Amino acid sequence: MSRARAIGCDGGGSGARLALVWDGLRHEVCGGPANVTSDFAGAVAEVSGLLHRAAQLAGVSLEDLRGVPAHFALAGVVDERVATRVAAALPLEGVVEEDRRAAVRGALGERPGHVAGIGTGSYLARQGPDGFETIGGHGLVLGDEASGAWMGRALLKAVLAVEDGVEPATALTRQIAEEMGGVSGIVAFAAEAGPSDFAALAPRLLDAKTDSAARHIIVAGADYIARGLLALGWKEGGAICLIGGIGGKYADFLPTQMQKALVGAEGSALDGALALAMEQDG
Protein backbone atom coordinates (compact mmCIF):
# COMPACT_ATOMS: atom_id res chain seq x y z
CA MET A 1 0.00 0.00 0.00
CA SER A 2 2.86 2.38 0.81
CA ARG A 3 4.40 4.43 -1.94
CA ALA A 4 7.62 6.34 -2.32
CA ARG A 5 6.04 9.81 -2.31
CA ALA A 6 3.60 11.34 0.15
CA ILE A 7 2.87 14.44 2.23
CA GLY A 8 1.53 14.36 5.76
CA CYS A 9 0.74 17.35 7.94
CA ASP A 10 -0.33 17.52 11.59
CA GLY A 11 -1.44 21.02 12.50
CA GLY A 12 -2.65 22.01 15.92
CA GLY A 13 -3.12 24.95 18.21
CA SER A 14 0.40 24.73 19.61
CA GLY A 15 2.32 23.99 16.41
CA ALA A 16 2.33 22.26 13.04
CA ARG A 17 4.56 19.56 11.59
CA LEU A 18 4.83 18.40 8.01
CA ALA A 19 6.62 15.40 6.54
CA LEU A 20 7.40 14.89 2.88
CA VAL A 21 8.45 11.45 1.72
CA TRP A 22 10.26 11.84 -1.61
CA ASP A 23 11.64 8.80 -3.28
CA GLY A 24 11.77 6.97 0.01
CA LEU A 25 13.48 9.72 2.02
CA ARG A 26 11.53 11.49 4.78
CA HIS A 27 11.94 15.27 5.13
CA GLU A 28 10.35 16.80 8.21
CA VAL A 29 9.73 20.45 9.09
CA CYS A 30 7.90 22.12 11.94
CA GLY A 31 6.41 25.54 12.58
CA GLY A 32 3.85 27.56 14.49
CA PRO A 33 0.15 27.02 15.31
CA ALA A 34 -2.24 25.98 12.55
CA ASN A 35 -5.82 26.01 13.81
CA VAL A 36 -8.10 26.90 10.91
CA THR A 37 -11.00 27.96 13.12
CA SER A 38 -9.10 30.32 15.41
CA ASP A 39 -6.93 31.74 12.57
CA PHE A 40 -7.80 30.61 9.06
CA ALA A 41 -5.34 32.77 7.10
CA GLY A 42 -2.52 32.17 9.57
CA ALA A 43 -3.03 28.41 9.46
CA VAL A 44 -3.09 28.31 5.67
CA ALA A 45 0.07 30.48 5.54
CA GLU A 46 1.77 28.21 8.09
CA VAL A 47 1.00 25.02 6.16
CA SER A 48 1.97 26.63 2.85
CA GLY A 49 5.30 27.72 4.35
CA LEU A 50 5.93 24.19 5.63
CA LEU A 51 5.26 22.79 2.14
CA HIS A 52 7.80 25.18 0.62
CA ARG A 53 10.42 24.35 3.23
CA ALA A 54 9.88 20.61 2.89
CA ALA A 55 10.23 20.87 -0.91
CA GLN A 56 13.50 22.79 -0.45
CA LEU A 57 14.78 20.10 1.94
CA ALA A 58 14.03 17.46 -0.69
CA GLY A 59 15.68 19.59 -3.37
CA VAL A 60 12.55 19.97 -5.45
CA SER A 61 10.11 22.78 -6.26
CA LEU A 62 6.57 23.12 -4.98
CA GLU A 63 5.43 22.44 -8.55
CA ASP A 64 7.17 19.04 -8.37
CA LEU A 65 4.89 18.12 -5.45
CA ARG A 66 1.72 18.35 -7.52
CA GLY A 67 0.01 15.00 -7.69
CA VAL A 68 1.77 13.66 -4.59
CA PRO A 69 -0.88 12.22 -2.25
CA ALA A 70 -1.26 14.55 0.74
CA HIS A 71 -3.17 14.40 4.01
CA PHE A 72 -3.58 17.64 5.98
CA ALA A 73 -4.78 16.87 9.51
CA LEU A 74 -5.64 20.25 10.98
CA ALA A 75 -7.20 21.34 14.24
CA GLY A 76 -10.35 23.38 13.77
CA VAL A 77 -11.68 21.57 10.70
CA VAL A 78 -15.10 21.29 12.29
CA ASP A 79 -17.06 20.36 9.18
CA GLU A 80 -16.97 19.65 5.46
CA ARG A 81 -17.48 23.32 4.60
CA VAL A 82 -14.34 24.37 6.46
CA ALA A 83 -12.40 21.46 4.95
CA THR A 84 -13.38 22.52 1.42
CA ARG A 85 -12.40 26.12 2.11
CA VAL A 86 -8.98 25.11 3.47
CA ALA A 87 -8.34 22.72 0.59
CA ALA A 88 -9.06 25.51 -1.91
CA ALA A 89 -6.67 27.87 -0.13
CA LEU A 90 -3.68 25.51 0.02
CA PRO A 91 -1.15 25.54 -2.83
CA LEU A 92 -1.43 21.76 -3.36
CA GLU A 93 -4.31 19.34 -3.61
CA GLY A 94 -4.84 17.00 -0.72
CA VAL A 95 -7.31 15.61 1.80
CA VAL A 96 -8.10 18.14 4.53
CA GLU A 97 -9.55 16.74 7.76
CA GLU A 98 -9.70 17.42 11.47
CA ASP A 99 -6.70 15.96 13.26
CA ARG A 100 -8.22 13.10 15.20
CA ARG A 101 -8.12 10.42 12.50
CA ALA A 102 -4.42 10.99 11.82
CA ALA A 103 -3.65 10.85 15.56
CA VAL A 104 -5.53 7.57 15.88
CA ARG A 105 -3.95 6.12 12.73
CA GLY A 106 -0.53 7.11 14.07
CA ALA A 107 -1.15 5.60 17.49
CA LEU A 108 -2.69 2.29 16.40
CA GLY A 109 -0.98 1.84 13.05
CA GLU A 110 -3.14 -0.34 10.81
CA ARG A 111 -4.66 -2.32 13.69
CA PRO A 112 -8.29 -1.92 14.75
CA GLY A 113 -8.61 -0.49 18.24
CA HIS A 114 -9.65 2.39 20.44
CA VAL A 115 -7.88 5.59 21.40
CA ALA A 116 -8.37 8.11 24.19
CA GLY A 117 -6.73 11.40 23.27
CA ILE A 118 -6.42 13.37 26.50
CA GLY A 119 -4.52 16.65 26.57
CA THR A 120 -5.83 20.14 27.29
CA GLY A 121 -8.99 18.89 25.58
CA SER A 122 -10.18 15.31 25.06
CA TYR A 123 -11.81 12.91 22.64
CA LEU A 124 -12.37 9.17 22.24
CA ALA A 125 -12.13 7.28 18.96
CA ARG A 126 -12.26 3.93 17.27
CA GLN A 127 -10.76 2.66 14.01
CA GLY A 128 -11.45 -0.73 12.50
CA PRO A 129 -13.63 -2.70 10.14
CA ASP A 130 -16.71 -0.66 11.12
CA GLY A 131 -14.93 2.55 10.16
CA PHE A 132 -13.53 5.49 12.04
CA GLU A 133 -15.70 7.00 14.73
CA THR A 134 -15.04 9.64 17.36
CA ILE A 135 -17.04 10.99 20.29
CA GLY A 136 -16.47 13.43 23.12
CA GLY A 137 -14.59 16.67 23.05
CA HIS A 138 -17.26 19.37 22.45
CA GLY A 139 -15.21 22.01 24.32
CA LEU A 140 -14.76 22.76 28.01
CA VAL A 141 -18.14 24.44 28.62
CA LEU A 142 -20.13 21.28 27.85
CA GLY A 143 -17.51 18.54 27.51
CA ASP A 144 -13.81 17.72 27.24
CA GLU A 145 -14.35 15.34 30.14
CA ALA A 146 -11.18 13.85 31.66
CA SER A 147 -9.03 16.49 29.93
CA GLY A 148 -6.41 18.61 31.64
CA ALA A 149 -8.67 21.67 31.50
CA TRP A 150 -11.58 19.67 32.94
CA MET A 151 -9.28 18.35 35.68
CA GLY A 152 -8.00 21.80 36.67
CA ARG A 153 -11.51 23.23 36.74
CA ALA A 154 -12.74 20.28 38.81
CA LEU A 155 -9.92 20.90 41.27
CA LEU A 156 -10.98 24.53 41.72
CA LYS A 157 -14.61 23.44 42.19
CA ALA A 158 -13.40 21.02 44.86
CA VAL A 159 -11.51 23.81 46.63
CA LEU A 160 -14.64 26.01 46.61
CA ALA A 161 -16.71 23.14 48.04
CA VAL A 162 -14.16 22.90 50.88
CA GLU A 163 -14.16 26.67 51.47
CA ASP A 164 -17.98 26.58 51.59
CA GLY A 165 -17.83 23.81 54.18
CA VAL A 166 -19.60 21.30 51.94
CA GLU A 167 -16.62 18.92 51.58
CA PRO A 168 -13.72 18.13 53.93
CA ALA A 169 -10.35 19.75 53.21
CA THR A 170 -7.39 17.75 51.88
CA ALA A 171 -3.72 18.67 51.70
CA LEU A 172 -4.11 19.60 48.03
CA THR A 173 -7.23 21.73 48.44
CA ARG A 174 -5.52 23.59 51.32
CA GLN A 175 -2.45 24.30 49.18
CA ILE A 176 -4.45 25.53 46.19
CA ALA A 177 -6.75 27.68 48.34
CA GLU A 178 -3.75 29.35 49.97
CA GLU A 179 -1.86 29.90 46.70
CA MET A 180 -4.85 31.34 44.88
CA GLY A 181 -6.15 33.62 47.61
CA GLY A 182 -9.21 31.66 48.73
CA VAL A 183 -12.68 31.93 47.23
CA SER A 184 -12.31 35.45 45.82
CA GLY A 185 -8.93 34.65 44.24
CA ILE A 186 -10.28 31.47 42.65
CA VAL A 187 -13.45 33.14 41.36
CA ALA A 188 -11.37 35.98 39.87
CA PHE A 189 -9.02 33.46 38.21
CA ALA A 190 -11.90 31.47 36.73
CA ALA A 191 -13.55 34.61 35.32
CA GLU A 192 -10.52 35.12 33.02
CA ALA A 193 -9.24 31.56 32.59
CA GLY A 194 -9.28 29.63 29.33
CA PRO A 195 -8.81 25.87 28.90
CA SER A 196 -5.01 26.06 28.99
CA ASP A 197 -5.09 28.07 32.22
CA PHE A 198 -7.22 25.41 33.90
CA ALA A 199 -5.07 22.66 32.37
CA ALA A 200 -1.97 24.20 33.97
CA LEU A 201 -3.36 22.93 37.29
CA ALA A 202 -3.69 19.31 36.11
CA PRO A 203 -0.10 18.27 36.93
CA ARG A 204 -0.65 19.34 40.55
CA LEU A 205 -3.59 17.00 40.73
CA LEU A 206 -1.86 14.14 38.94
CA ASP A 207 1.12 14.43 41.29
CA ALA A 208 -1.19 13.99 44.29
CA LYS A 209 -2.79 10.64 43.53
CA THR A 210 -3.15 9.72 47.21
CA ASP A 211 -5.03 12.96 47.94
CA SER A 212 -8.73 12.10 48.20
CA ALA A 213 -9.89 15.21 46.31
CA ALA A 214 -7.43 14.56 43.48
CA ARG A 215 -8.24 10.88 43.39
CA HIS A 216 -11.96 11.56 43.17
CA ILE A 217 -11.43 13.70 40.05
CA ILE A 218 -9.05 11.24 38.37
CA VAL A 219 -11.46 8.36 39.01
CA ALA A 220 -14.33 10.40 37.52
CA GLY A 221 -12.21 11.11 34.44
CA ALA A 222 -11.28 7.43 34.10
CA ASP A 223 -14.93 6.49 34.48
CA TYR A 224 -15.82 8.82 31.60
CA ILE A 225 -13.11 7.26 29.42
CA ALA A 226 -14.27 3.72 30.25
CA ARG A 227 -17.93 4.50 29.57
CA GLY A 228 -17.05 6.28 26.35
CA LEU A 229 -14.90 3.43 25.04
CA LEU A 230 -17.72 0.99 25.79
CA ALA A 231 -20.12 3.29 23.91
CA LEU A 232 -17.69 3.12 20.99
CA GLY A 233 -17.99 -0.66 21.00
CA TRP A 234 -14.88 -1.70 22.91
CA LYS A 235 -14.88 -5.39 23.83
CA GLU A 236 -12.50 -7.36 26.03
CA GLY A 237 -9.21 -7.90 24.24
CA GLY A 238 -9.55 -4.98 21.85
CA ALA A 239 -6.50 -2.69 21.82
CA ILE A 240 -6.72 0.63 23.70
CA CYS A 241 -4.12 3.35 23.31
CA LEU A 242 -3.93 6.38 25.62
CA ILE A 243 -2.39 9.40 23.89
CA GLY A 244 -2.10 13.14 24.46
CA GLY A 245 -0.27 14.98 27.21
CA ILE A 246 -1.97 13.21 30.09
CA GLY A 247 -3.68 10.19 28.50
CA GLY A 248 -1.17 7.79 30.04
CA LYS A 249 -1.90 9.09 33.54
CA TYR A 250 -5.26 7.34 33.45
CA ALA A 251 -3.77 3.87 32.84
CA ASP A 252 -3.88 2.75 36.49
CA PHE A 253 -7.42 4.03 36.97
CA LEU A 254 -9.20 2.17 34.15
CA PRO A 255 -11.15 -1.06 34.75
CA THR A 256 -8.81 -4.08 34.97
CA GLN A 257 -9.97 -5.53 31.64
CA MET A 258 -9.18 -2.24 29.94
CA GLN A 259 -5.78 -1.99 31.63
CA LYS A 260 -4.92 -5.41 30.19
CA ALA A 261 -5.83 -4.13 26.72
CA LEU A 262 -3.52 -1.09 26.80
CA VAL A 263 -0.95 -0.77 24.03
CA GLY A 264 1.72 1.86 23.46
CA ALA A 265 1.44 4.30 20.57
CA GLU A 266 3.11 3.11 17.38
CA GLY A 267 3.67 6.61 16.08
CA SER A 268 2.63 10.23 16.17
CA ALA A 269 -0.22 12.09 14.49
CA LEU A 270 2.31 13.14 11.84
CA ASP A 271 3.08 9.48 11.17
CA GLY A 272 -0.65 8.92 10.96
CA ALA A 273 -1.18 11.76 8.46
CA LEU A 274 1.63 10.39 6.31
CA ALA A 275 0.17 6.87 6.49
CA LEU A 276 -3.29 8.17 5.50
CA ALA A 277 -1.72 9.98 2.53
CA MET A 278 0.06 6.80 1.45
CA GLU A 279 -3.19 4.85 1.68
CA GLN A 280 -5.17 7.32 -0.41
CA ASP A 281 -4.94 5.32 -3.60
CA GLY A 282 -4.30 2.01 -1.84
Of the candidates 18, 17, 232, 248, the one whose C-alpha atom is nearest the C-alpha of residue 118 is 248
| The residue count for the chain | 282
CB atoms within 10 A of CB 188: 12
Task: Provide φ and ψ at 104, rounded to 5°.
Answer: -70, -45
CA–CA gap between residue 126 and residue 234 (Å, rounded): 8
Q: Which is nearer to a copy of itself, 65 or 186 (CB)?
A: 186
List the one residue from 23, 24, 131, 141 that touches a copy of itself (CB under 8 A): 141
C-alpha–C-alpha distance, residues 195 and 124, integer Å: 18
Outline where DSSP puts E strands in 42-108.
Answer: 70-74, 95-97
Binding mask 208-227 for a copy of itself (x = CB under 8 A): -------------------x
Q: Which stretch binds a copy of itself (CB under 8 A): 104-112, 152-160, 203-211, 234-242?
A: 152-160
The answer to whether 95 contacts a copy of itself (rule: CB under 8 A) is no
Q: Is 200 in the site for a copy of itself (CB under 8 A)?
A: no
DSSP 138: -
173-192 footprint of a copy of itself as x/- string (CB under 8 A): ----------xx-xx--xx-
Out of 3, 52, 53, 157, point to the residue binding a copy of itself (CB under 8 A).
157
Residues that bind a copy of itself (CB under 8 A): 78-79, 135-136, 138-139, 141-143, 153, 156-157, 160, 164-166, 183-184, 186-187, 190-191, 193, 227-228, 231-232
